[in-house]
């Protein structure tokens, strides 16, 4: 077996907490992976992506993992020339496989479901993904002809409590958005039923919001960047 390690990458500026002040942007990426010595990325021509959608309870709220990661992964894989089975087809095939296998055994393994999916959909691989982080923290600062430090601090607390920026917040304050997104994945070779690639990638980015960068307040760009990097981890250059 072959072990390959990821590295910690830094780009742009460091975190405002480290600088002791306000930073206009930074990017920090951490990744690690393992792959079988028999894994051949070029052999993957058709695949299915399965995103775990298990729920968890946090502060009496049930949260479902966000499907934006799934869509970003599919787009990145398709751009690399891999045929991806339509998600609804995968969902239906998965339910049918689980139902059929549950009639034969009380315990149904992921490997059995993967083998059934591979046969039914003529796949080379199934990629299982799990979003392990999607978080945004807004940092508000005083602004010339706008908020002073006390008002900025008050608005910062309100913004992070509700999770959204209002036009008045943007008018009164300088706004910096800090996004943290992460993915954990494993790739299963349908022919053998073996896991051939395991890895994770975490990305933390920051950008100042202004009229030219309205997308700074959304995690969408960070998720897309993360998905493209993960696909590159799996398939190589």
CB contact at 8 A, 215 and 221: yes
Say if 101 falls within a structural domain: no
Structural domain total, the chain: 1
User: 219 is in which domain, residue-wise?
Assistant: 2-85+123-235
Neighbours of 17 (CB within 10 A): 10
Is 96 part of a structural domain of the chain?
Answer: no
What is the domain-level CATH number for residue 43? 3.30.160.150
Phi-psi region of 163 (alpha: psi -120 to 50; beta: other; left: phi over 0): left
Q: Find the helix packing angle between 110-121 and 87-104, rounded to 10°.
A: 130
Would 176 be classed as within a structural domain?
A: yes
Question: Does any domain span residue 194?
Answer: yes
- Strand 61-64 and strand 55-58: the pairing is antiparallel
**DSSP letter (8 states) at residue 170:** H
Task: State residue 237's pLDDT score.
Answer: 75
What pLDDT was estimated at residue 5? Answer: 46
- Which residue ranges of the chain lie beneath pLDDT 50? 1-22, 55, 57-63
pTM: 0.79
- Let me know if residue 100 belongs to a domain: no
Of 42, 16, 35, 15, the C-alpha closest to 27 is: 15
In a domain, 219, yes or no: yes
In a domain, 150, yes or no: yes
pLDDT tens across 32-61, in order? 999 999 899 999 999 999 887 554 544 333
Q: What is the pLDDT of residue 91?
A: 78
Tens-digit pLDDT profile for residues 6-17: 444 444 444 444
Q: Is 104 a member of any domain? A: no
């Amino acid at each position: 077996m072959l072990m390959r390690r990821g590295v910690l990458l830094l780009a742009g500026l460091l975190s405002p907490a480290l600088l002791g002040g306000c930073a206009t942007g930074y990017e920090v990426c951490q990744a690690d992976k393992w792959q079988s010595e028999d894994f051949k990325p070029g052999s993957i021509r058709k695949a299915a992506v399965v995103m775990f959608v298990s729920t968890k309870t946090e502060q009496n709220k049930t949260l479902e993992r966000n499907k934006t990661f799934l869509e970003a992964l599919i787009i990145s894989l398709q751009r690399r020339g891999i045929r991806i089975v339509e998600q609804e087809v995968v969902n239906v095939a998965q339910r049918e496989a689980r139902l059929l296998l549950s009639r034969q055994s009380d315990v149904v393994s992921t490997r059995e479901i993967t083998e059934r999916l591979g046969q039914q959909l003529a796949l080379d691989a199934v990629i299982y993904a799990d979003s392990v982080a999607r978080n945004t923290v807004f940092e508000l600062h005083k602004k010339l002809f706008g908020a002073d430090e006390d008002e900025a601090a008050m608005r910062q607390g309100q913004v992070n409590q509700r999770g959204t920026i209002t036009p008045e917040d943007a008018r009164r304050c300088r706004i910096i958005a800090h996004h943290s997104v992460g993915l954990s994945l494993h790739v299963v070779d349908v022919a053998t039923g073996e896991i051939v690639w395991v890895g994770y990638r975490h990305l933390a980015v920051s950008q100042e919001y202004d009229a030219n960068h309205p997308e700074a307040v959304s995690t969408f760009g960070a998720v897309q960047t993360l998905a493209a990097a993960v696909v590159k981890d799996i398939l190589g250059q």
